């Protein structure tokens, strides 16, 4: 599991003074890439392998709003590694109050850069994701 903290700033807010739902999605994506970086699975590494990581499904349960100055904690962990997909779970909560802001489930596939089609997860990639699932990090 990886844990990332971020402080809410003015440009994260919508017209109603709350963090916009789109910003939450950006925060989640940033946390997922930070998680992948811990084992060297970044954009360059995927490109070197001739593949990219594509989100094919994302489900977010928005549970509470967040406001200017809040410090949010995002926990990210691998939930499942299938033959053709990887499921990651995330939880975001307010550090001070511990109130859950949202939880999410994200499903990825590995896509071949040359064909644009999803491919099975090979043993080497599976081992990297297994390593990631056993890693505990705080950023």
User: What does the alpha-carbon distance between residue 49 and residue 40 come to, in Å, rounded to a whole number?
Assistant: 12
* Token digits of residue 47: 């490109």
In a domain, residue 10? The reply is yes
Q: Judge whether 63 and 19 are in contact, CB under 8 Å.
A: no
Query: 0.75 exceeded by the pTM?
Result: yes
Percent pLDDT > 90 in the chain is: 87
Number of domains comprising the chain: 1
In a domain, 66, yes or no: yes
Mean pLDDT of 88-103: 99
Domain span holding position 84: 2-134
Other beta carbons less than 10 A from residue 22's beta carbon = 10
Residue 120 inside a domain? The answer is yes
Residue 36 within any structural domain of the chain: yes
Give the pLDDT of residue 70: 99
In a domain, 139, yes or no: no
Answer yes or no: is 26 within a domain: yes
CATH classification of the domain holding 6: 3.10.129.10
Q: Does a structural domain hold residue 65?
A: yes
In a domain, 126, yes or no: yes
Q: Mind listing the pLDDT tens digit for each residue in 11-43? A: 999 999 999 999 999 999 999 999 999 888 888
pLDDT tens digits, one per residue of 106-119: 999 999 999 999 99
């Amino acid at each position: 599991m990886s844990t990332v903290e971020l402080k809410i700033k003015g440009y994260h807010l919508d017209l109603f003074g709350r963090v916009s739902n789109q910003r939450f999605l950006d925060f989640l994506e940033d946390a997922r890439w930070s998680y992948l970086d811990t084992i060297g699975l970044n954009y360059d590494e995927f490109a070197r392998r001739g593949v990219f990581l594509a989100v094919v499904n994302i489900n977010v349960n928005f549970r509470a709003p967040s406001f200017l100055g809040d410090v949010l904690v995002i926990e990210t962990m691998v939930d499942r590694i299938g033959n053709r997909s990887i499921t990651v779970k995330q939880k975001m909560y307010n550090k001070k109050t511990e109130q859950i802001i949202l939880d999410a489930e994200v499903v990825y596939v590995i896509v071949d850069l040359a064909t644009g089609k999803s491919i099975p997860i090979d043993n080497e990639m599976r081992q990297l994701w297994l390593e990631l699932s056993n890693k505990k990090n705080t950023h």
